[in-house]
Amino acid sequence: MTPLDQKINTHFPGLVVRKDLVRTVKGNAIVPSYVLEYLLGQYCATSDEATIQTGIETVKEILRKHYVHRNEAGLVRSNIKEKGRYKVIDKISVALNEKADVYEAEFSNLGIKRVLVDSGTVKTHPKLLVSGVWCIADIEYEFSEEKSASPWILSTLKPIQLSHFDFENYLEARKQMTKEEWIDLLIQSMGFNPELFGKRSKLIMLIRLIPFCERNYNLIELGPKGTGKSHLYSEFSPHGILISGGEVTVPKLFVNNSTGKIGLVGYWDVVAFDEFAGKQKRADNALVDIMKNYMANKSFSRGIETLGAEASMVFVGNTKHTVPYMLKHADLFDELPEKFYDSAFLDRIHFYIPGWEVDIIRGEMFSNGYGFVVDYLAEILRSLRNHDYSDRYKGLFSLSSDISTRDRDGINKTFSGLMKIVFPHGGASREDIEELLRFAIEGRKRVKDQLMRIDSTYGNVSFAYLDASQLAKSVTTLEEEEYPNYYNKTVDSNQPSEVGIQKEATETLPPATDQSLKAQHLTFQENQKGISFDTLLGPYLKGATKITITDPYIRLFYQVRNLMEFLETVVKHKAQDEEVAVHLVTAKDEFKGEQQKEYFERIKESSSAVGLDFTWEFEEPGAIHARHIVTDHGWKISLDRGLDIFQHYEMNDAFTFANRLQKYRPCKAFEVTFISDGLKQGYFLRHQQ
């Protein structure tokens, strides 16, 4: 186990499970992860390997015997008849038979209906009345001559979710972990390997949890296919439901006026709409109107009566175009159905998750480490709905007076949700609070900026906050930084606005001409794209005959590959009839030093054929304190991350553009400083002339 896994097991004994076990036991059972983890939590919530293996076999046996596969339903029904009583795991829904004045259950996979259920069970578990709940149930069979009688008898029923938890112990255990450890634990609990995600990407994933811990939270995520947008809402919690966006009706979602039956928002904490995007999809005007009212006021009407509900609304859908294409030709809501492409509806959204920043899910991204049994975390998050953390920044920061009440609500609800998730116990530093506040502002700004493109009646808003000294700090979205000339386009024109022109004039990357090179300091955000060694470093390397790279972390394969791509940039920017000496100063790998040396030998061999003289030397790790590149014609380039500026990508897949072209890779947060030695540059220019 990793040190984090050991710490998790120490502070949360019996409440965590190894996440790869879910994939081990699932087999061909089409069942949500929280059902499997409920069983694993009973038998495998331990770090003892022998107990885990025994528990796995027990869970597999339970699933084999009691989970009902639809193609084996006849055999299970026969078992019930022959044995008289049998335990099943199935999705059960209940409806009221008004004619007989009884509640009747329907078993989804088992295929039996009209199973009598007592009123007490329905009152205890009201979600049985809408869309069904996964349960462990004992079914009995007793034949009757009476034609109207059903032979199936429900003996016991237990929904698959945690019955109790200790919230105070949860808070105490949280205090024993750092912020970084805690976030990694949450990411592992969601089933992913935190090592493959940057800080910003982790925060984006945590935003997906806010609807579970914040009442009436409205969230949208649009992005490419395969990024796991809907997975959480169908697999993670027994308190959330995922429905197809095309199957929504007013009676199903809110209330059936003819029967008085309350819809999904009355029973579920989170209602998520899958496949919500698609311009050709139809939507009922009445549905859009009632949704607008509910999302703004937390209420809906049933005839003359007004009802309230607490369900959060989540909308997830796929985009067909790249971000710059959408910004140039339309806006970031362009994929939505016509009826929902409505500024009044969209203004109710509290946060827009930029789905294009989330990497497409690959097998290696899944975690083998320990995380919370998800129904335990689901209950914790549900209990946090009773708390309000939205004021926890107000002693340190205040929102700009330019920000409207609706914008403030969105920012405050997002900030509150993030604080509940990351700092449920309090204890956040000023820097931590500022980071979460900025992120909350950015998500609401993304919504408002697109509304201004859709509807010219929305005025320009300065999304900024003030610190205790009343110093205003503005917030921008990442797309705004990457594509300023498209992002700040005016509503009625494809021409950039004045703001866009000014931003484009101060483009972050240096232009590729020797005359315009200048000493400067550049900062890049996590997940920013469009960056490459060619555009960032190439112009400053052109004309150099000797380049020295100092970076202690050129050890692992991906780090050596970064070095190779840097050398490619040197080759592209040197004259064919010139040779360049490149010297690397790095630290020797403690465990794989010979492999590291072999990499360098191979690079040296191939470099000689293209006019590069590559050499290297090893220094003690502690002796190298800075990472930089120095040229013999007057430039020193200081990189706080060295050459390791890109996030993890699939290096073994030759058919992905992120593998072939650096500008399609999301980068890590990093800073670079270009320092000029004027004397050397002047000599170099005179020498060239």
- Write out the H or E segment, with its range, that includes residue 7: helix 3-11
Mean pLDDT of 595-614: 92
Residue 505 has pLDDT above 50, yes or no: no
In sequence order, the 6+-apart residues with CB closer than 8 A to the CB of 565 are 533, 662
CB 190 within 8 A of CB 202: no
Residues recorded for the chain: 689
Q: What's the confidence (pLDDT) of residue 498? A: 42
The secondary structure of 38-88, three-state, reads: HHHHHHCCCCCHHHHHHHHHHHHHHHHHHECCHHHHHHHHHHHHHHCEEEE
Q: What's the confidence (pLDDT) of residue 642? A: 94
Domains of the chain by residue range: 70-159, 165-374, 389-504, 514-688
Residue 324 Cα distances to 333, 374, 487, 671, angstroms: 13, 37, 8, 24
521: helix, coil or strand?
strand
Which pLDDT band, with edges at 50, 70 and 90, does 682 fall under? low
Closest alpha carbon to 245 in 279, 212, 215, 211: 279
The CATH number assigned to the domain with range 70-159 reads 2.40.50
Q: What's the confidence (pLDDT) of residue 426? A: 92
Residue type, 658: A
Helices and strands per DSSP (H, E), number in the chain: 27, 26
Mean pLDDT of 501-512: 41
Which one is the CATH code of 165-374: 3.40.50.300, 2.40.50.100, 1.10.10.10, 1.10.150.20? 3.40.50.300
Q: How crowded is residue 70: how many other Cβ atoms within 10 Å of its Cβ?
A: 12
Mean pLDDT of 410-428: 97
> Looking at domain 514-688, does it have CATH number 3.30.870.30?
yes
In sequence order, the 6+-apart residues with CB closer than 8 A to the CB of 530 are 482, 509, 663
pLDDT 10s digits, 241-264? 999 866 788 888 898 877 778 889
Residue 422 has pLDDT above 90, yes or no: yes
pLDDT 10s digits, 444-501? 999 999 999 999 899 889 999 999 899 999 999 999 999 888 887 654 444 444 444 3
pLDDT 10s digits, 204-238? 999 999 999 999 999 999 999 988 888 889 888 88
pTM of the model: 0.81
Q: Pick the more confident residue, 510 or 184.
A: 184
Give the sign of the dihedral formed by CA 20, CA 21, CA 24, CA 28: negative
pLDDT 10s digits, 555-590? 999 999 999 999 999 999 998 888 999 999 999 988
Q: Pick the more confident residue, 231 or 271.
A: 271
Q: What's the confidence (pLDDT) of residue 375? A: 84
Mean per-residue pLDDT of the chain: 88
Mean pLDDT of 129-138: 85
Q: What's the confidence (pLDDT) of residue 105? A: 93
CB 34 within 8 A of CB 382: no
**Cα(207)–Cα(418) distance, rounded to whole angstroms?**
7
Specify the residue for token string 């009123």. 119
Cα torsion through 201, 203, 208, 213, rounded to 10: 170
- Percent of the chain predicted with pLDDT > 70: 93
Joined together, the tokens standing for residue 582 give: 């490149």
**Dmax (CA) of the chain:** 109
